[in-house]
């Protein structure tokens, strides 16, 4: 058994009193997952303030055989950052934007910098960092990369792993891998940085990343549309495809009603009721170039019957309110009672089929349940959530979680989709991954884990 007291003494020596705590009242907020599904426990939390401190702390833990769970902003949703006895390593003191190079379109940031701070640092340099999530004020770059976060701009810019040229990471033995780079081309062997992207902290701790920046658009046009069905949304998506389109989100009527009823300051922008809603963003780089294109696009969509109505934001406040209707979906669903949540993806062309089949299947199992699928039509990532019937006992409803997950994931598998689109595997989907994934893939994942972390120090319960 590892000697915890000896480990604490050694960690205190390298981290100082501000870098380690046993105080459970201080640690407590970092042991609860946002959805209150996972609750953790840890003997101590360590908070290194530099890559060197992180490396020294990891080496101490590795030599003692003590497992580590890395954590960023604690916004994960699959149990991948909630410790169950492991030492909790928080990256939030790794919080410096190290450099910004507009000429290279590269920003280097520590892992504990929030996504919002990266966006603002890029904007101050006349550039854009396009990753955008509802939790961007609290989620961190290290966490974003470790889960390969997606967000609302994947249709144009890709996921988090598409926005990185390299990472700096501490390996499970305490060594430092330096893959930070300003280079657009580097053909010198395996792209080792990408091993850490989507690895959920199982191969090491990302301590910094070099991030891709893009030109800042001169104009952003946000439009919300009312739709009778998702086939209309697909028709609009086909017409809107192009360099200017950066976001296409869908919201069902139940979801919009939950938001407007429970989130202060938000209201339905339409006078009529629609079964579905879409929120679209378009970026333009020439002032005034967008008006005729936008008006023509949505006029044609109305004539074709793809949409029933459209609202074009006239200022930043209106644009923010339209996006808030989508970003507050998860928060608003809490007011509907217990919910069984899925983060899945299917080929974009099969989103309408998925929604129809999933709704029919879950309501066959529980006729009074309320399916509420929403999310990123532009990349096929659907947050397929199922709320209990009004007034239903939460515990009774949640007993159906396993059956619901099997129903939804079976349909996803049949449609050549993925059971995890952007939240990761963590604990909640570990068994499902092992059951559904190609055995060769599972063997390769385990081989990589064994090669880099033979002692299983890093997040040993997660993923595989």
pLDDT at 464: 86
pLDDT at 243: 74
User: 101 and 208, same structural domain?
Assistant: yes
The CATH number linked to 124 is 3.30.465.10
How confident is the prediction along the chain (464 residues), in pLDDT tens digits per residue? Answer: 678 899 999 999 999 999 999 999 999 999 998 777 789 999 999 999 999 999 999 999 999 999 999 999 998 878 889 999 999 999 999 999 999 999 999 999 999 999 999 999 999 999 999 999 988 999 999 999 999 999 999 999 999 999 999 999 999 999 999 999 999 899 999 999 999 999 999 999 999 999 999 999 999 999 999 999 999 999 999 999 887 999 999 999 999 999 999 999 999 999 999 999 999 999 998 877 678 889 899 999 999 999 999 999 999 999 999 999 999 998 999 899 999 999 999 999 999 999 999 999 999 999 999 999 999 999 999 999 999 999 999 999 999 999 999 999 999 999 999 999 998 899 889 999 999 999 999 999 999 999 999 999 999 999 88
133 belongs to a structural domain? yes
pLDDT at 287: 74
Distance CA 222, CA 311 (A): 9
451 belongs to a structural domain? no
Residue 370 is part of which domain span?
337-428
Domain end residue (candidates: 283, 310, 330): 330
452 belongs to a structural domain? no
Domain end residue (candidates: 279, 295, 330): 330
Residue matched to tokens 């739709």: 227
pLDDT at 87: 97
User: 227 and 302, same structural domain?
Assistant: yes
Tokens of 267: 């209201």
Domain end residue (candidates: 295, 330, 365): 330
The CATH number linked to 408 is 3.30.70.2740
pLDDT at 61: 97
Within 10 A of 357 (CB to CB), how many other CB atoms are there? 18
412, burial (CB in 10 Å: exposed 0-12, middle 13-18, buried 19+): buried
User: 119 and 86, same structural domain?
Assistant: no
User: 196 and 109, same structural domain?
Assistant: yes
User: 229 and 292, same structural domain?
Assistant: yes
pLDDT at 75: 86
User: 240 and 148, same structural domain?
Assistant: no
User: 354 and 292, same structural domain?
Assistant: no
103's CB contacts (< 8 A; 6+ apart) are: none
Tokens of 337: 């009672």
Specify whether the CB–CB gap between 211 and 118 falls below 8 A: yes
Long-range own/partner contacts, residues 251-255 (CB < 8 A, 24 or more apart):
251/276, 251/277, 251/278, 251/279, 251/325, 251/326, 251/329, 251/374, 252/276, 252/277, 252/372, 252/373, 252/374, 253/277, 254/370, 254/372, 254/387, 255/329, 255/332, 255/333, 255/372, 255/374
Specify whether the CB–CB gap between 34 and 77 falls below 8 A: yes
268 belongs to a structural domain? yes
Q: How many domains does the chain have?
A: 4
Q: What does DSSP say about strands 87-90 and 45-46: parallel, antiparallel, or unpaired?
A: parallel
User: 354 and 423, same structural domain?
Assistant: yes
Beta bridge partners of 380: none
User: 138 and 124, same structural domain?
Assistant: yes
pLDDT at 189: 93
Tokens of 71: 């954590």
pLDDT at 289: 67
460 belongs to a structural domain? no
User: 184 and 136, same structural domain?
Assistant: yes
User: 81 and 104, same structural domain?
Assistant: no
Specify whether the CB–CB gap between 75 and 135 falls below 8 A: yes
120 belongs to a structural domain? yes
User: 207 and 125, same structural domain?
Assistant: yes
The CATH number linked to 308 is 3.30.70.2190
Specify whether the CB–CB gap between 428 and 79 falls below 8 A: yes
């Amino acid at each position: 058994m590892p000697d915890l007291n000896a480990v604490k003494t050694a960690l205190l020596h390298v981290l100082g009193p501000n870098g380690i705590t046993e105080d459970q009242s201080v640690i407590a907020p970092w042991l609860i997952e946002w959805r209150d599904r996972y609750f953790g426990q840890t003997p101590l939390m360590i908070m290194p303030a530099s890559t060197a401190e992180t490396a020294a702390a990891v080496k101490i833990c590795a030599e003692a055989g003590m497992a580590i769970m890395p954590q960023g902003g604690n916004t994960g949703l699959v149990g991948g950052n909630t410790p169950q006895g492991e030492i909790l390593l928080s990256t939030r003191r790794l919080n410096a934007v190290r450099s910004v190079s507009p000429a290279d379109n590269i920003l280097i940031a520590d892992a504990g910098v929030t996504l919002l701070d990266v966006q603002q640092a890029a904007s101050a340099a006349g550039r854009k960092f396009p990753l955008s999530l509802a939790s961007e004020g609290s989620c961190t770059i290290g966490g974003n990369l470790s889960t390969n976060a997606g967000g609302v701009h994947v249709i144009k810019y890709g996921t988090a792993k598409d926005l990185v040229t390299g990472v700096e990471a501490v390996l499970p033995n305490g060594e430092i891998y330096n893959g930070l780079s300003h280079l657009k081309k580097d053909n010198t062997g395996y792209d080792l940085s990408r091993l850490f992207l989507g690895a959920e902290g199982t191969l090491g701790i990302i301590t910094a990343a070099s991030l891709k920046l893009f030109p800042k658009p001169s104009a952003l046009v946000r439009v919300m549309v009312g739709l009778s069905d998702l086939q209309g949304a697909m028709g609009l998506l086909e017409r809107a495809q192009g360099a200017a389109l950066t976001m296409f989100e869908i919201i069902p009527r139940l979801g919009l009603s939950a938001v407007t009823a429970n989130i202060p300051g938000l209201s339905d922008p339409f006078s009529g009721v629609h079964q579905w809603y879409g929120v679209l963003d378009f970026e333009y780089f020439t002032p005034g170039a967008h008006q005729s294109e936008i008006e023509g696009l949505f006029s044609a969509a109305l004539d074709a019957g793809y949409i029933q109505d459209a609202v074009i934001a006239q200022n930043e406040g209106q644009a923010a309110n339209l996006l808030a209707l989508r970003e507050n979906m998860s928060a608003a669903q809490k007011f509907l009672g217990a919910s069984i949540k899925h983060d899945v993806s299917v080929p974009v062309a099969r989103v309408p089929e998925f929604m129809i089949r999933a709704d029919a299947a879950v309501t066959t199992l529980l006729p009074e349940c309320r399916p509420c699928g929403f999310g990123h039509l532009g990349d096929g990532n659907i947050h397929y959530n199922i709320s209990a019937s009004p007034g239903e006992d939460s515990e009774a409803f949640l007993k159906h979680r396993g059956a619901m997950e099997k129903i939804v994931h079976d349909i996803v598998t049949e449609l050549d989709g993925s059971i995890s689109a952007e939240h990761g595997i963590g604990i909640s989907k570990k068994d499902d991954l092992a059951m559904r994934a190609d055995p060769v893939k599972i063997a390769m994942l385990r081989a990589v884990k064994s090669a880099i972390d033979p002692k299983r120090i890093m997040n040993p319960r997660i993923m595989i």
